[in-house]
Amino acid sequence: MKKILLVFIAMISLSAIQAQNCNAVFFNQDGRAFQVTLNGILQNADYQTNVKVTDLSFEGNYKVTINFQDQSIATITKSIYMMEQSTEYSYELKANKKGEYVMRASSMVPIAQAPAAPAQTVVTYTTTPAAPAPTPAPAPTTTATTVTTETVTTSTTVTDNSTGTSENVNMNVSMGGMGVGMNVNVNVTDNGMNTNTDMNMMGANTSTTTTYTETTTVTTSSGYSDDMMSTEPVGEATPVYVMPGYTGPVGCPYPMSEAEFAKVKQSISSKDFSDSKLTVAKQVTNANCLTADQAKQIMLLFDFEDTKLDYAKYAYGHTYDLGNYYRLNDAFEFESSIEELNNYIESQK
């Protein structure tokens, strides 16, 4: 019984420790993929634009290194501290006014209230380096081999006179299209033997057999196109959203569906305090793309003017139809808020 009690206490203690752990989300809105390294250990092998690292120790201090796939962007190094237990912290990687990429704290929200973000890579914090990304298979190649063989034919003719008093030997050799002719006459007489040798260079007149062998090998790799000049993997086309009737500037690629947005509104509305609502709203906005009308609906969930203005500024960079952003003005009560929002938008252009 005592052993069972000790095991039970240990399980409760372990659960309590796990409940205190934290998450850290790193994201980039302009499509710049990156890798996250914590305390010198690579966490995600593949380059991604939204990475959540879970199971970070409460009150833990981590040195963050961000390496971008685009090597022209300088590496970001910064330390973060998990100061609240069971909390998810978000950090945005973006260019400042100087064009330099920096990491900025974006929001913090209890893990239990953190909404799931689409297209997010989730990894558990590890002290073992992540396995390197697999090397893509080579693009299809075509190898053509042509073998040409030239066969040389040599003819030799020997003539033996039946009288036995003379020998006549004719030899023709053809090599590489050139002919060599040799004629040897041997005459035997009572006075001795006379030998006459004639050698002539002749034109190419001897039969030559030329054999051509052509071998063509085509190697194809799965997952690649048949175009021999292409080295890009063939996958599903990236969906492109087109808002009916809208032709203005676009701030993000694909806004949330109405079903997903309804869940987001419910999650924000369930919070009792304005600060909590704003935190959740920013967390969701960070990881998604909204329409101007969706941003306006979130604004209407806040009770205070300054909170509405704060969120309206924040959501501008995460809105699809920027040309319709003027519609958010209807959610304000004071003209000064409209003017301040307009000044903010002008400063972002």
Q: Look at the block and give the residue holding tokens 């008093």.
A: 165
Residues 156, 172: Cα–Cα separation, whole Å: 6
Residues 208, 174: Cα–Cα separation, whole Å: 8
What's the mean per-residue pLDDT of the chain?
A: 75
Determine which of 13-27, 42-56, 267-281 has the lowest per-residue pLDDT on average: 13-27
pLDDT one-digit tens code per residue, 226-253:
333 333 344 444 457 888 899 889 989 8
Check residues 142 and 296 and name the one with the higher pLDDT.
296
The pair of structure tokens assigned to 217 is 């090998």
Considering the chain, what percentage of its residues have pLDDT values greater than 90?
Answer: 40
Residues 117, 115: Cα–Cα separation, whole Å: 6
* pLDDT (0 to 100) of residue 234: 41
Q: Looking at the domain 147-212, which fold is it?
A: N-terminal domain of TfIIb (2.20.25)
44 pLDDT above the threshold of 90: yes
Q: Of 322, 320, 321, 326, give the one whose Cα is nearest residue 348.
A: 322
Q: Where does 17-124 sit in CATH, by number?
A: 2.60.40.2890
Summarize the confidence of residues 20-42 as an average pLDDT: 92
pLDDT one-digit tens code per residue, 106-123:
888 899 888 877 789 999
**Nearby residues of 139 by Cβ (< 8 Å), 6 or more positions away:** 221, 224, 228, 230, 231
Instruction: Name the pTM for this structure.
Output: 0.39
Summarize the confidence of residues 314-318 as an average pLDDT: 92
Structural domain boundaries in the chain: 17-124, 147-212, 258-348
The pair of structure tokens assigned to 10 is 């240990």
Is 198 within 8 Å of 213 (Cβ atoms)? Answer: no
Question: Within a 10 A sphere around the Cβ of 301, how many other Cβ atoms?
Answer: 19
